[in-house]
Structure 1
Amino acid sequence: MKISTKGRYGLTIMMELAKRYGEGQVSLKSIAQKNGLSEHYLEQLIAPLRNHGLVKSIRGAYGGYILARTPEEITAGDVIRVLEGPISPVEFEEEEDPAKRDLWLRIRDAISEVLDSTSLQDLISYEDKGNMDSYMFYI
């Protein structure tokens, strides 16, 4: 399984909101500029995150977005599932060899465990320690 730019940039949005949690709304324009990303693309990603209750939008001249829950309560798995769909390394059929099926299920469960046990707070804490250069979003 390879996480696309949707998942990677979605995590970037969520991490930026987590860093500013409790300080008020953050504009997508500021996130795009800070990270060298397309604001238009981020607008496409924020809609499903809002629709699934991970972020809230604030309207007005100084509008933007805030996390709907604390950074400790939102996991990387929440974000990836919204933007990438179900976590599965391969498409497998019911009639496939049971040994291979078990392997794919164990891989899926291991990936899910890592994503579901990593909160936004974990990610921004890791980044704050200066380890961001070695952190990869690939699974």
Structure 2
Amino acid sequence: MLDLALRGGKNPVTLAGISERQDISLSYLEQLFSRLRRHELVESVRGPGGGYYLAKTLGNISVADIIRAVDEPIDSTHCGGKENCHDEHRCLTHDLWMGLNAHIYDYLDNVTLATLVAKQDECKEKVMQDRRTPKMTLAA
């Protein structure tokens, strides 16, 4: 999604392009983007020149939205949150790990694609500044 956010705009982005740039299997991306489309996070354009683009603005798509859409939950518990950790009973630390899960999702709900794109832009700016900084040479 970050690749799409960075390259998106007026032209759709192909999954083949994302696959190549990010070294992710095309068939896996097809599965993920099918789920993202069902959750209305992306839209697709068919045919020549087709591909995907974001269905919402960068600031309206959180990392947690993406994780929920692709059904890849973040879970710190041993039982998957089902409370059958230890012989069909909750383990002693179940609430601790469930609390951690809640904090992780709270954090990821507040990290949007806009945040991540801004960080990428900031990193590019630093790289550009580093390249422009003249190197000092020692006089003999």
TM-score of the two chains, using structure 2 as the length reference: 0.72
What number of residue pairs does the alignment pair up?
A: 117
Which structure would you say has the larger Rg? 2
Amino acid at match of 2:38: N
Unpaired segments of 5 or more residues in structure 2?
125-140
Residue in 1 that maps onto 2:30: 43
Q: Percent identity?
A: 38
- One of 100, 105, 121 as aligned partner of 2:93: 100
Indicate the SS of the match to 2:75. coil
Structure 1: 4+ residue segments shifted above 6 A: none
- For residues 123 and 2 of structure 2, the distance between their equivalents in structure 1, rounded to whole angstroms, comes to 15
Residue in 1 that maps onto 2:133: none
- Superposition RMSD in Å: 2.1
- For residues 60 and 76 of structure 2, the distance between their equivalents in structure 1, rounded to whole angstroms, comes to 25
Unpaired segments of 5 or more residues in structure 1?
1-13, 132-139
User: Which segment drifts farther, 75-84 or 57-66?
Assistant: 75-84
Q: Deviations over 1:59-93 (max 9, x none)?
A: 12111001010111001101111224444311242
Of structures 1 and 2, the one scoring higher in RCO (CA 8 A, sep 6+) is: 1
TM-score of the two chains, using structure 1 as the length reference: 0.73
